[in-house]
């Protein structure tokens, strides 16, 4: 079975959901590592409680992003990691990791890309007055929030919705979408063709 690393920066609710789906057999991969750039991230404790190995490294402990990512790469190699899923990982992934894992890094973004890129997408869509936003799972490439899209799900913003209600709907959509996308990847059904992702049936 392929071994997955899940990268987080914060609470790790997507990570938790992914690990649960692994345990239920809905994602046919092993949760080999949860990595965080914030060694105090609450999600790391949760991962340990699930019995998943964890590692944390701070960017500020390294002279450059390149050295930081080389150190991450060593950890990934030592745990025999085959692919990476970013789940609320708030660092931009650089060429060292992207070139080591070509077509093997997924990200979840809480908006319908290419709209509302960046770190505050739910709030940005809400403040903009959008009536429809959503969730995107995509391959990571060298541009931020840009790689080929695997799955998207729309989420409506009701006229009476406040921000917390929208956040709740977005997270519910994330918990449905990410495990499906990961399972498509591990079952070898995804093929990248230019900007597009083809899904074999």
Per-position x/- string for 68-97, each x denoting binding to ligand GAR as judged by CB under 6 A, each - no binding: -------------------xx---------
Q: What's 99's DSSP letter? A: H
| Residue 138 in contact with ligand GAR, rule: CB under 6 A | no
Contact with ligand GAR (CB under 6 A): which of 11, 45, 131, 189? 11
What sign does the dihedral 102-73-179-127 (CA atoms) show? Answer: negative
Contact with ligand GAR (CB under 6 A): which of 69, 133, 174, 185? 174
C-alpha 119/C-alpha 130 separation (Å) is 17
57 three-state secondary structure: coil
Please state, as a whole number, how many other Cβ atoms lie within 10 Å of the Cβ of residue 152: 17
Q: Is 171 a catalytic residue?
A: no
- Minimum distance between the CB of residue 153 and ligand GAR, rounded to whole angstroms? 12
DSSP element (H, E) containing 71: helix 65-78
- Minimum distance between the CB of residue 198 and ligand GAR, rounded to whole angstroms? 24
Tell me if the bond preceding 82 is cis, omega within 30° of 0. Answer: no
| Residue 8 in contact with ligand GAR, rule: CB under 6 A | yes
- The binding site for ligand GAR (CB under 6 A) comprises 8, 10-14, 87-88, 108-110, 119, 121, 174
């Amino acid at each position: 079975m392929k071994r997955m690393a899940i990268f987080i920066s914060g609470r790790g609710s997507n990570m938790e959901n992914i690990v649960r789906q692994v345990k239920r057999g809905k994602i046919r991969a092993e949760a080999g590592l949860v990595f965080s750039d914030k060694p105090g991230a609450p999600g790391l404790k949760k991962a340990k409680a699930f019995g998943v190995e964890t590692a944390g490294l701070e960017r500020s402990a390294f002279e450059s992003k390149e050295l930081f990512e080389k150190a991450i790469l060593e950890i990934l190699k030592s745990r025999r990691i085959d692919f990476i899923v970013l789940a609320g990982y708030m660092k931009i992934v650089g060429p060292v990791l992207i070139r080591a894992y070509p077509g093997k890094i997924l990200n979840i973004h809480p908006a319908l890309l290419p709209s509302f890129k960046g770190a505050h997408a739910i709030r940005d869509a809400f403040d903009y007055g959008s009536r429809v936003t959503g969730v995107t799972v995509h391959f990571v490439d060298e541009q931020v929030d840009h790689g080929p899209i695997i799955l998207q799900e729309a989420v409506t913003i009701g006229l009476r919705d406040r921000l917390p209600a929208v956040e709740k709907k977005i997270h519910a959509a994330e918990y449905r979408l990410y495990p499906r996308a990961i399972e498509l990847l591990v079952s070898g059904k995804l093929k990248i063709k230019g900007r597009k992702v083809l899904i074999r049936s």
